[in-house]
Structure 1
Amino acid sequence: MTTLSLTVPSSCPPLPRVIQGGMGMAVSSWRLASAVAHAGQLGLVSGTALDLVLARRLQNGDRDGAVRRALAAFPVPRFAQRVLARYFRPEGRSAGQPYAPVPRLALRQTRLAQELMVLGSFVEVWLAKEGHDGRVGINFLEKIQMAAPAAAYGSMLAGADYVVTGAGIPRDVPHLLDQLAEHEHVEFPVTVVGGSNHTVDFDPEALLGESLPAVSRPTFLAIVSAHALAEHLVREDRTRPDGFVVEGPPAGGHNAPPRGRLTLDEVGQPVFGPRDQADLSKVAALGLPFWIAGAQGSPEALVAAREAGAAGVQVGSLFALAAESGLDPVLRDDVLARLRDGTLDVRTEALTSPTGFPFKVAQLPGTLADVGLTAARPRLCDLGYLRTPVQKDDGKVAYRCPAEPVHMYERKGGDAADTVGRSCLCNSLAANVGLGQTRADGYVEPPLVTLGVDVAGASRLAERHAGAWTARDALDWLLGDEPAEGVTDLTAGRAVISS
């Protein structure tokens, strides 16, 4: 086993051996992250669309009062009160009533948009940290750049210990966290097709006022699929993370596409090969802690990861199916039944995601995995988290998504061929956690469930538990009697690690 020595105080706690994946939209809920953190490992909340999650929970009446309890703890009370006044419905929505909209992401953001993004992240992280001293982080998609400053700042106000970012190249996140820790005015770079030097601006003092509480910079982990990307990120202080999650193709959700020429198998899945596996020895040689993700949901995988020099593993599917996850119980029970009878089928879809990244989809009836339901869904893009900014000939910026109506996509300069096979992930992921939209005409948005393709570990847990297991059940099984030894936490400051 590779030995890692660190130049940080000995009082720091050990690094987690297990990082719970930051899955979907609120699948990695605050309840799940809290349970994992309470057990001594790293719990992550999903940072995707938490502005939407906050607004819809309030419209549903916030039955257990958790959202309002977190909002009451926000350091600027008037800030939280404005969002409560706009979205909270004490009796919830009436049957068939659509959710009120939230502002869509854009380069130039309204005050309401930034308030919702700050508060959404604050609420989720604050609730996950409530009542214990365990470590809680938040997981962001690099693709959703326009939300990054406000969402990251909200999580820091709540005391996030870690920020984890993948689905892209998160080169600008370390510097962003440095700036936000000082409450600085941020101009965060945003990729715009056909343009350059575009940013989204975020000014904490202008938004919240000058009397801001001190915040700590979270430890930053970059999710990478290749050792070359890890090597690239460590070259400069501005881009250097504090560690890595090295994710392989079997992981759920979005994956990096195969290197080289795209080849599909007989059912249309991308074919991955040896070039798509990171060289862990080269990652270890960089001297930063790393965790391995993708098909790591077993005790044997954890042992092997640590023998390879990793601090541990990141595990998704075991926790997505745990009782505390945000996944709709009906969907979870369907997945568990299929696990137990051996009929669960998870495929890597090359075209489903509007991002262009391969996306893992569980083949469940009543979801958008059913081609009939996909064909029957009206094409529209009303949430827009995965829209791409595009600079037009006149210099103005438009926003397009391959899942929107084809004529609209073409009008914004897109190729109609790119719209074939695309699904609206934003609406379906909201439906996965019981927050799907009901349209004015009665149409109800269907879900689309993502899991890792390797379900062997989940199948073994399903044999041990008659119903859904808890997060603690999953951790007890993964960790066994392995001693808590090895590397030291980085939350007290950046560390220098040598192998």
Structure 2
Amino acid sequence: MSTAESISEPLAGGHRHLPGPPALIQGGMGVGVSGWRLARAVARAGQLGVVSGTALDATLARRLQLGDPDGRLRHALAHFPVPEVAERILRRYYVAGGTAPGVPYRPVPRLGLRPNRARDELTVVANFAEVFLAKEGHDGLVGVNYLEKIQLATPAAAYGAMLAGVDYVLVGAGIPAEVPRLLDDLAAGRPAELTVTVAGGDDSAQGHQVRLDPVALLGPELPPPPRPRFLAIVSSHVLAAYLARSPATRPDGFVVESPVAGGHSAPPRGRLQLDDAGDPVYGPRDEADTVKLTAIGLPFWLAGGYGTPGGLARARAAGAAGIQVGSAFALCRESGLDGELRERMLRRARAGTLRVRNDPRASPTGFPFKIADVPGTISDLAVYAARPRLCDVGYLRTPFVKPDGAIGYRCPAEPVDTFVRKGRPEEEAAERHCLCNGLLSAIGLGQTRPDGYQEPPLLTLGQDTGFLAGLPDDHSAADVVAHLLGG
């Protein structure tokens, strides 16, 4: 299929047609950085706007507890196709006028292998609301971005986004081989499942799934939702070829990220070496071969270092359908970042003093993670040292088999003695950061502890800030689109 052709999408009783692949995909960043306002602004500008699907259950619950001042979340929930489910969530989390300052947020059910109806309902509704608001009022394209490493949430999250008519699902930070079948099953109204990686035990790769039955959850009256297109986020042509080799695993295209892209990066191939700044050293083996990508025959977008006016032309010359850009949108007015933090990063980036390091130790996932060095955030060693270690959100916990055969959960960012008791060496926990709490704080939703301690933010961005040249001081998403396409 030519990348200029329109895309036919299967739908119950027929097909709908999407326009040809967009030139520009807005990255699905952080927790709530790529929120519905940003995705809607990009979609209205004619490109693919993408909401981050990470931790939407927590962000919905916390914003409802803040009183939903503009009423947009309650507006979205009023359109959920099973009203009694939305009403249960409002009764549990909505606080008229907002909770008093200093009151901790009510927790949401943590991810796990055991079925939990309240957790699934909240995840489905939260993803529906985010996509519904992103799509409202225009006919542009909207996608949602998930992390393969958060497998436990994906079936319910994807179903909620599909109920709102999401056009694209993007999945990275792993090998998303089962996502095409998951989307097929959900679009057919069938029970859908994903295999979950469980550490330890002779059969750790077998027999563990997370499952969602749409009929059991929401009843038989709902028609199956449209199937979105699926883009796998990869870092190499090798993984792209692996996924494309079988109809069961083949996506509809790829986003190919270079090591300078924000958030998580794939580790370098071969033995890990660090440069003088402590960043992993990448070499020719870590560069995706665009000739081999083109030979696969599926459209692909290049990401990381392409967010300048000449980036799109360079990508297309290499055979790409377009580019994915994140950092320029992360710092725009519609970004979900806390406003004061966004302005501080902008000022430092424009002054050339913003350092973004690719920390090989910070993420509990073991993948290198980009951290923007901004005083007062977790990047500050004093702030990091003062933070009590705890894991009370748990999106990056790893399931493992206990000695008695039961399933437990552990995270390298939890208290060290707890982590060690769960069978792992102490050195694995050294220098780990709690991304879950830090990224929630970065969008103004940080937890306040009963003793008054407030979770500090953690900021991530791509390592190439050259995109700011030519943009207004306080730029909008539309400014970014015009800047990139105008070049």
Could you say which TM-score interval applies, normalised by the shorter chain?
Answer: over 0.9
Asked whether the equivalents of residues 189 and 223 of structure 2 are also in contact (C-alpha less than 8 Å), the reply is no
Aligned-pair distance for 1:12? Answer: 4.6
2:472 to 465, 477, 493: 465
Deviations 1:24-46 (A, max 9, x none): 00000100000000111000000
1:21 to 27, 47, 52: 27
Asked whether the equivalents of residues 4 and 20 of structure 2 are also in contact (C-alpha less than 8 Å), the reply is no
Asked whether the equivalents of residues 240 and 254 of structure 2 are also in contact (C-alpha less than 8 Å), the reply is yes
What's the secondary structure of 1:271's corresponding residue?
coil
Return the alpha-carbon distance in structure 1 between the equivalents of residues 65 and 171 of structure 2: 29
Return the alpha-carbon distance in structure 2 between the equivalents of residues 260 and 6 of structure 1: 39
Pairing 1:427–2:437 present: yes
Say which is worse superposed, 402-411 or 187-196, in terms of deviation: 187-196
Gaps of 5+ in 2: 9-15
Aligned to 1:495: none
Matches within 5 A, 1:326-337: 326-337=336-347
What's the secondary structure of 1:281's corresponding residue?
helix
Aligned to 1:213: 223
Aligned-pair distance for 1:3? Answer: 6.6
Aligned-pair distance for 1:11? Answer: 6.8
Aligned to 1:55: 61
Pairing 1:69–2:75 present: yes
Return the alpha-carbon distance in structure 1 between the equivalents of residues 451 and 377 of structure 2: 20
Return the alpha-carbon distance in structure 1 between the equivalents of residues 242 and 456 of structure 2: 40
Say which is worse superposed, 103-112 or 436-445, in terms of deviation: 103-112
Give the length in aligned residue pairs.
476
Pairing 1:100–2:106 present: yes
Aligned to 1:192: 198
Say which is worse superposed, 189-198 or 29-38, in terms of deviation: 189-198
Asked whether the equivalents of residues 372 and 461 of structure 2 are also in contact (C-alpha less than 8 Å), the reply is yes
What's the secondary structure of 1:53's corresponding residue?
helix
Matches within 5 A, 1:435-474: 435-458=445-468, 460-461=469-470, 464-466=471-473, 468-474=474-480
Pairing 1:280–2:280 present: no
Gaps of 5+ in 1: 482-499
Aligned to 2:395: 385
2:247 to 237, 244, 250: 237
Aligned to 2:351: 341
Asked whether the equivalents of residues 264 and 370 of structure 2 are also in contact (C-alpha less than 8 Å), the reply is yes
Deviations 1:419-470 (A, max 9, x none): 0000000000000100000000000000010000011112x04xx413x200
Asked whether the equivalents of residues 6 and 20 of structure 2 are also in contact (C-alpha less than 8 Å), the reply is no
Say which is worse superposed, 7-16 or 47-56, in terms of deviation: 7-16
Return the alpha-carbon distance in structure 1 between the equivalents of residues 142 and 405 of structure 2: 42
What's the secondary structure of 2:296's corresponding residue?
coil
Asked whether the equivalents of residues 19 and 44 of structure 1 are also in contact (C-alpha less than 8 Å), the reply is yes
1:119 to 114, 125, 135: 125
Aligned to 2:277: 267
Asked whether the equivalents of residues 5 and 19 of structure 2 are also in contact (C-alpha less than 8 Å), the reply is no
What's the secondary structure of 2:111's corresponding residue?
coil
Q: Which amino acid aligns with 1:474?
A: V
Matches within 5 A, 1:223-234: 223-234=233-244
CA-based RMSD of the aligned residues comes to 1.4
Matches within 5 A, 1:403-422: 403-422=413-432
What's the secondary structure of 1:402's corresponding residue?
coil
- Structure 1 runs of 4+ off > 6 angstroms? none
Asked whether the equivalents of residues 108 and 201 of structure 1 are also in contact (C-alpha less than 8 Å), the reply is no
Pairing 1:45–2:51 present: yes
What's the secondary structure of 1:299's corresponding residue?
coil
Return the alpha-carbon distance in structure 1 between the equivalents of residues 432 and 82 of structure 2: 41
Return the alpha-carbon distance in structure 1 between the equivalents of residues 2 and 208 of structure 2: 43
Asked whether the equivalents of residues 188 and 200 of structure 1 are also in contact (C-alpha less than 8 Å), the reply is yes
Asked whether the equivalents of residues 352 and 358 of structure 1 are also in contact (C-alpha less than 8 Å), the reply is yes
Aligned-pair distance for 1:235? Answer: 1.3
What's the secondary structure of 1:140's corresponding residue?
strand
Aligned to 1:32: 38
Asked whether the equivalents of residues 117 and 154 of structure 1 are also in contact (C-alpha less than 8 Å), the reply is yes
Deviations 1:82-130 (A, max 9, x none): 0000000011010100000001100113111001110110000000000
Aligned-pair distance for 1:412? Answer: 1.1
Return the alpha-carbon distance in structure 2 between the equivalents of residues 135 and 25 of structure 1: 21
State the TM-score, normalizing by the size of structure 2: 0.96
What's the secondary structure of 1:285's corresponding residue?
helix
User: Identity rate of aligned residues, in percent?
Assistant: 59
CA separation of 1:4/1:26 partners in 2, compared to 1, >3 Å: closer, same or farther? closer
Say which is worse superposed, 150-159 or 299-308, in terms of deviation: 299-308
Matches within 5 A, 1:138-149: 138-149=144-155
What's the secondary structure of 2:310's corresponding residue?
helix
Pairing 1:307–2:313 present: no
Pairing 1:169–2:175 present: yes
2:258 to 248, 251, 266: 248
Return the alpha-carbon distance in structure 2 between the equivalents of residues 120 and 178 of structure 1: 21
Aligned-pair distance for 1:186? Answer: 1.8
Aligned-pair distance for 1:193? Answer: 0.6
Return the alpha-carbon distance in structure 1 between the equivalents of residues 76 and 87 of structure 2: 12
Return the alpha-carbon distance in structure 1 between the equivalents of residues 261 and 291 of structure 2: 20
State the TM-score, normalizing by the size of structure 1: 0.94
Pairing 1:369–2:383 present: no
By relative contact order (CA 8 Å, sep 6+), the higher-ranking structure is: 1
Aligned-pair distance for 1:8? Answer: 5.5
Return the alpha-carbon distance in structure 1 between the equivalents of residues 77 and 267 of structure 2: 40
2:86 to 80, 88, 91: 80
Aligned-pair distance for 1:7? Answer: 8.3
Aligned to 1:201: 211
Q: Which amino acid aligns with 1:217?
A: R
Asked whether the equivalents of residues 147 and 172 of structure 2 are also in contact (C-alpha less than 8 Å), the reply is yes
Return the alpha-carbon distance in structure 1 between the equivalents of residues 430 and 145 of structure 2: 29
Aligned-pair distance for 1:14? Answer: 2.7
Deviations 1:113-168 (A, max 9, x none): 00111011000000000000000000000000000000000000000000000011
Return the alpha-carbon distance in structure 1 between the equivalents of residues 17 and 192 of structure 2: 33
